[in-house]
Amino acid sequence: MNVTKDSVIEFHALRSRPENEEETLIGRPDISNYIVLPNIGIEIIERLQSGQPIFEMEAIFEERFGEPVDVLSFVQDLIYDYQFIHKVDGAVVNEKTEWKDHLPFLTERLGNFFFNRFAFALYALLFFSGLAAAVVRTEYFPVYSDIFLSSSVTVSLVTAFLAGWFFLFLHEIAHLMAARSLGIGSRIGLSHRLVFMVAETNMSNIVLLPPHKRYRAFLAGMAWDGALFGVGVWLQVLHGAGWLALPEIVIAFLRMINLSFLLGLGFQFLFFMQTDVYYVFTARFNCKNLIHNTRLYLRGLRNRLDEAQQQEWEGVEEKEKRVIRWYAWFYLIGMVWALFLFSSVTLRQAADFISKTYDSMAGHPVLSWPFLDGVLLIALTLVPFSIVVWSWIRTWRERAWKMKQRDNLTT
């Protein structure tokens, strides 16, 4: 597929937002691909959309700037790198895709009800008062053994598994509703961060809003988790004071989910991965692509950048580079620490648990309760690991497919 200087170019639907006087953010909302372009780039796109051929533009710009402007190679970038262009001379170069919002019945109004300033203040009050109560009265502070709400390991783990998945998606629904309240649609899915399984809400079109308007959507999940944690502590306090009689099993359940909420909130602060706190951080410092550019920086320190990467690094804003120079330390130390923790704690615990369960199954016939019980426990333990592996494979495949598509188009 060749673009020539008189090719007819047809674009996908694009949306944009001026960043400042010199630059505009522009992209395809259907695949959430966005870039920031200098004004000249935007002008070229507008001229192409109105049907002006490339050779005509190059003549106009050369006269204006006193030097040749490489419009043709920019158009090639728009096709291969950013996929903004649908057809060249009538031939499809990037297929149309349809973006479908998840849970469209959760309206903007409902989102506004749950995620306005007043609601956030209430969530914060619940969380911090609950945390203070648990610090003062340490018997309400979560401990590791809270994960076992029953003397039966199976009952405990099945309950924790079901509650874990329920509250995981509740967290994502909070993000989705808060983004919806800002007029942004999202999609919920499963993925990985480093070696951890996560549920994620893709709300990439939120970059069409200025950074200070995005916080609501980034903080929504933690706000609900924190508020529920606070409610859990206060219910235990009321029960302990004798003002509210709750069955022991309910108290045990509250302790289990409170442990899960607190660890989940802690996970968000590991901002060397793309967590909620990471996005708050990038919005606060107006970074466009912090983790990607940090990786470029670290490769650059080892002189491992190819020409395209070198150009990309040089194009990063000075402000973002200043953030990267100290963020890179968090990134490196965080990565090493998380991998160490994962291999020495998470993996080892899972392996220990599976081998103990296997030992307790041995000697029982296949169709007996102890054996089936063991199969269930091992299966539950393997679920998150399987999802991480599946997510890795999906990421590699997408990357390979993109490379292949690029090669097909450029030959």
Partner 1 sequence: MKIQAKRVEQVRTTAECVAC
Under 8 Å CB-to-CB from 406, ≥6 apart: which residues? 80
CA–CA gap between residue 397 and residue 286 (Å, rounded): 31
What does the angle CA 21 – CA 208 – CA 216 come to, to the nearest 5 degrees? Answer: 115
Burial of 371 (0-12, 13-18, 19+ CB in 10 A): middle
Selected binder of partner 1 within 28, 384, 388, 391 (CB under 8 A): 384
For residues 280 to 299, the per-residue mask of contacts with partner 1, x marking binding by CB under 8 A and - elsewhere, is --x-----xxxxx-------
We find the least distance from the C-beta atom of residue 116 to partner 1, in angstroms, to be 19
Question: DSSP for 102-113?
Answer: S-TTS-HHHHHH
Binders of partner 1 among residues 165 to 194 (CB under 8 A) are 165, 167-168, 171-172, 175, 191, 193
Selected binder of partner 1 within 4, 97, 310, 311 (CB under 8 A): 311
We find the least distance from the C-beta atom of residue 335 to partner 1, in angstroms, to be 16
Nearer to partner 1, 62 or 359 (CB): 62
We find the least distance from the C-beta atom of residue 243 to partner 1, in angstroms, to be 29
Task: Based on the shown chain and the rule CB under 8 A, indicate whether residue 82 belongs to the binding site for partner 1.
Answer: yes
Residue in this structure with the two tokens 């909302």, named with its chain if needed: 29
Determine phi and psi for 38, rounding to 5 degrees.
Answer: -70, 160
For residues 232 to 271, the per-residue mask of contacts with partner 1, x marking binding by CB under 8 A and - elsewhere, is ------------------------xx-xx--xx--xx---
Nearer to partner 1, 116 or 274 (CB): 274
Distances (CA, A) of 244 to 96, 126, 134, 139, 259: 58, 18, 18, 17, 22
We find the least distance from the C-beta atom of residue 368 to partner 1, in angstroms, to be 27
Task: Based on the shown chain and the rule CB under 8 A, indicate whether residue 54 belongs to the binding site for partner 1.
Answer: no
Selected binder of partner 1 within 207, 361, 377, 388 (CB under 8 A): 207
We find the least distance from the C-beta atom of residue 360 to partner 1, in angstroms, to be 22
The total of other beta-carbon atoms located within 10 Å of residue 313's CB is 16
Selected binder of partner 1 within 85, 119, 198, 361 (CB under 8 A): 198
Nearer to partner 1, 240 or 334 (CB): 334
Nearer to partner 1, 180 or 193 (CB): 193
Binders of partner 1 among residues 13 to 42 (CB under 8 A) are 25, 27, 32, 34-38, 40-41
Nearer to partner 1, 171 or 239 (CB): 171
Q: Which amino acid is at 87?
A: K
User: Looking at the DSSP assignment, which residues form a beta bridge with residue 88?
Assistant: 9, 91
Task: Based on the shown chain and the rule CB under 8 A, indicate whether residue 307 belongs to the binding site for partner 1.
Answer: no
Determine phi and psi for 28, rounding to 5 degrees.
Answer: -100, 110
Contact 378, 358 (CB under 8 A): yes
We find the least distance from the C-beta atom of residue 259 to partner 1, in angstroms, to be 7
Q: Which amino acid is at 395?
A: T
Binders of partner 1 among residues 56 to 75 (CB under 8 A) are 61, 65, 67-71, 73-74
We find the least distance from the C-beta atom of residue 363 to partner 1, in angstroms, to be 30
CA–CA gap between residue 3 and residue 9 (Å, rounded): 9
Contact 372, 360 (CB under 8 A): no
Nearer to partner 1, 42 or 240 (CB): 42
Q: For 12, which DSSP code?
A: P
We find the least distance from the C-beta atom of residue 219 to partner 1, in angstroms, to be 9
Binders of partner 1 among residues 342 to 381 (CB under 8 A) are none
Q: For 344, which DSSP code?
A: I
Rounded (to 5) percent helix, strand, coil in the chain: 65, 10, 25
